[in-house]
Amino acid sequence: MHSLRWAWSYIRTYRTRLIMGLTLALVVSALNMINPYLAGKIVDKVIYGHQDNLLWKFLIVMIGFTFIRTVVRYGYQMMFEKLAQNVIYKMRKDLYDQLHRLDFSFYDQTKTGDLMARMTGDLEAVRHFTAWSIYMIFENAMLLVFGLGFMFYIHPPLALALLAVAPFIGFFAYRLTFAVRPTFTEIRNQFARLNSVVQENISGNRVVKAFAKEDYEIEKLNVENEAFKEKNLLSARVWEKYLPILDSLAGFLTVVMILIGGIMVIKGSLTFGELVTFNSLIWTLSNPMRMAGWLINDVQRFIASAEKVEDLLKTKSNITNNGKTVKLEEFKGVVEFERVHFSYGDKPVLKDISFKAKPGQTIGIIGPTGAGKSTLVNLLSRFYDATHGEVKIDGVNVKEWDLYKLRQEMAMVMQDIFLFSDTIEGNIAYGNPNATLGLVQAAAKMAEAHHFILELQDGYDTIVGERGVGLSGGQRQRIALARAILKNPSILILDDTTSSVDMETELKIQNTLKSTQQNKTCFIIAHRISSVKEADFILVMDHGRIIEKGKHEELLKKKGYYFTVYQNQFGNFDQKLLGQDVILVGA
């Protein structure tokens, strides 16, 4: 019922179409009574009454109504299909909007394959229910009502005798409903798992090949595929047990009718024509009974899928645009961390982080892998919110900023670079789609990408493959950097952006950024000292804490962690050989 109520929130927009469709289905169900009625009349009036002239009239009326019924049925079937397509269109759109609203922690915990299952298989189950099951249930129910009504009208005792089968049908239909529901939920969940394996294998096909793990991955899929098959068979075993029972009970109706009806005809309480009408009407009872099993399956399949779709639509994002959003006309880019702590779940990652950066300053962040560098900058764009303490921009807690304004004013080149399968120009202009080619090229020049782009087959019109396949790591980094520069943000965050770029090119990029991004606050996360050495100040992080802070020269004088890293990168190999700790830095 709950799923139906939820589906109704979508269907009700098209309730006029729904009511029209159901009305037409009602008409068709009523029209179904005409042929059995006329069949009885033909027997009584034409065969036994010898009124031969009536035969043609009856036949023409029968053909006429059959034609009308077919046309009307086609009409409402199309109505329901259209209704279902509109409903699914809206649901898909809502799901897609919701996927964009959900935050990083949701994506951390959810498999892409599961989301794809909701966007495809689950929506299809909802479509099937809306386009087909609704009117089939209604049509069959009405057929039953009209058929029974008509039978009671002709001969109540015989109708009552047939109705005696109904409680048995009801009993088995009820049992089927509850037995089959969990099996459809299982099938649906297994489908999501199967999808995840396929999706991961497509995305990670290069890794699979590089490690020659094809057999392992095929076996992994076989396991899920086998489980999917088994769960379908298990479900089939459940409903296959009930369908023959329902079918036999439906068939039993004919036996009851012939037996009791025959006796009544012999005794003269029923005409032969009426028995023929009963015989023709019997399918109005047996058909709904036979269909009951299939329709119950459809409804249960719908419920299993609708719950998943609804769950996703109702998932709340932890990162929301709070009511008290601040709308400052001019975003300056003063960044302040005040005693900030952050945990992923219950795993503390940032501890007591405090610093202040002003517009025009470049802040270098350095430290071993897992120190919390990326997490720190993620708090700026509110990919996650601080667990304690305050992250402020221009003196205002980031939670109070309009989320979209905040993100518009920032550009981040992430470690894991994602390029869309689009032209290079399209990729660079992603954050600023109205930019002219001139501006795109200027950004590419600043990112030292212009020359290699010109050397590509179609220059800026070259289509890069999914995720930027076809470009080297350093080329992808430079395109991502150009994309960030073109956005002209107040705060620029470069997370290990030039790690795959040679030192000479990196130096050129740094010089350009220095001269062109003067009024911006720029964060550079790096593992090369050369990348951060010119920064206004450098934060050295380890185990979620800032362990050293200052300019390059100041940090060297401290002879602490930074100094050791410097030595490791710029020489003094003697000390290394003498056994001093070699600290590997990475981002």
Q: Which is nearer to ligand ADP, 343 or 505 (CB)?
A: 343
Q: Which is nearer to ligand ADP, 147 or 544 (CB)?
A: 544
> What's phi and psi for 455, nearest 5 deg?
-75, -15
Q: How far is the CB of 525 from ligand ADP (least distance, A)?
A: 7
Structure tokens at 582: 């070699």
The Cα 293–Cα 145 span in angstroms is 18
8 A C-beta contact, residue 385 and residue 399? yes
Q: Which is nearer to ligand ADP, 367 or 468 (CB)?
A: 367
Residue type, 203: S
Q: Which is nearer to ligand ADP, 213 or 543 (CB)?
A: 543
The Cα 84–Cα 13 span in angstroms is 12
Q: How far is the CB of 499 from ligand ADP (least distance, A)?
A: 12
Give the gyration radius of the chain's Cα atoms: 36
**Of 382, 377, 380, 381, whose CA–CA distance to 367 is shortest?**
377
* DSSP H or E segment with residue 480: helix 473-486
Q: How far is the CB of 113 from ligand ADP (least distance, A)?
A: 18
Q: How far is the CB of 547 from ligand ADP (least distance, A)?
A: 13
Q: How far is the CB of 337 from ligand ADP (least distance, A)?
A: 14
DSSP 121: I
Q: Which is nearer to ligand ADP, 25 or 371 (CB)?
A: 371
Q: Which is nearer to ligand ADP, 371 or 464 (CB)?
A: 371
**Of 67, 84, 86, whose CA–CA distance to 127 is shortest?**
84
> What's phi and psi for 119, nearest 5 deg?
-75, -20
The residue with tokens 């396991």 is 223
The C-alpha angle with vertex 347 and arms to 343 and 349, in degrees rounded to 5, equals 55
**Of 46, 68, 252, 59, whose CA–CA distance to 168 is shortest?**
252
8 A C-beta contact, residue 426 and residue 499? no
Residue type, 148: L
Q: How far is the CB of 319 from ligand ADP (least distance, A)?
A: 14
Q: How far apart are the first and last CA of the chain?
A: 52
Q: How far is the CB of 379 from ligand ADP (least distance, A)?
A: 10
8 A C-beta contact, residue 278 and residue 208? no
Q: Which is nearer to ligand ADP, 375 or 521 (CB)?
A: 375
Q: Which is nearer to ligand ADP, 380 or 471 (CB)?
A: 380
Residue type, 1: M
Q: How far is the CB of 375 from ligand ADP (least distance, A)?
A: 3
Burial zone of 511 (CB within 10 Å; 0-12 exposed, 13-18 middle, 19+ buried): exposed
**Of 391, 361, 363, whose CA–CA distance to 541 is shortest?**
363
Q: Which is nearer to ligand ADP, 73 or 351 (CB)?
A: 351
Q: How far is the CB of 391 from ligand ADP (least distance, A)?
A: 15
Q: How far is the CB of 351 from ligand ADP (least distance, A)?
A: 11
Q: Which is nearer to ligand ADP, 185 or 375 (CB)?
A: 375
The Cα 354–Cα 493 span in angstroms is 18
Binding residues for ligand ADP, rule: CB under 6 A, are 108, 344, 347, 349, 367, 369-375, 587
Structure tokens at 32: 């179904």
Q: Which is nearer to ligand ADP, 85 or 112 (CB)?
A: 112
Q: How far is the CB of 345 from ligand ADP (least distance, A)?
A: 7
Q: Given the DSSP bridges, would you call strands 545-550 and 410-413 parallel, antiparallel or unpaired?
A: unpaired
Residue type, 483: R
Q: Which is nearer to ligand ADP, 173 or 587 (CB)?
A: 587
Cβ-based neighbours of 389, under 8 Å, separated by 6 or more: 337, 338, 339, 340, 341, 352, 353, 354
* DSSP H or E segment with residue 492: strand 491-495
Q: Which is nearer to ligand ADP, 374 or 381 (CB)?
A: 374
Q: How far is the CB of 343 from ligand ADP (least distance, A)?
A: 9
Q: How far is the CB of 485 from ligand ADP (least distance, A)?
A: 22
Q: How far is the CB of 378 from ligand ADP (least distance, A)?
A: 7
Question: Distances from the Cα of 78 to the Cαs of 18, 51, 294, 301, in angstroms?
Answer: 11, 42, 21, 22
Local structure of 9: helix, strand or coil: helix
**50's torsion region: left (phi>0), alpha (psi -120 to 50) or beta?**
left
Identify the sign of the CA torsion 442, 446, 447, 453: positive
Q: Which is nearer to ligand ADP, 216 or 418 (CB)?
A: 418
Local structure of 432: helix, strand or coil: coil
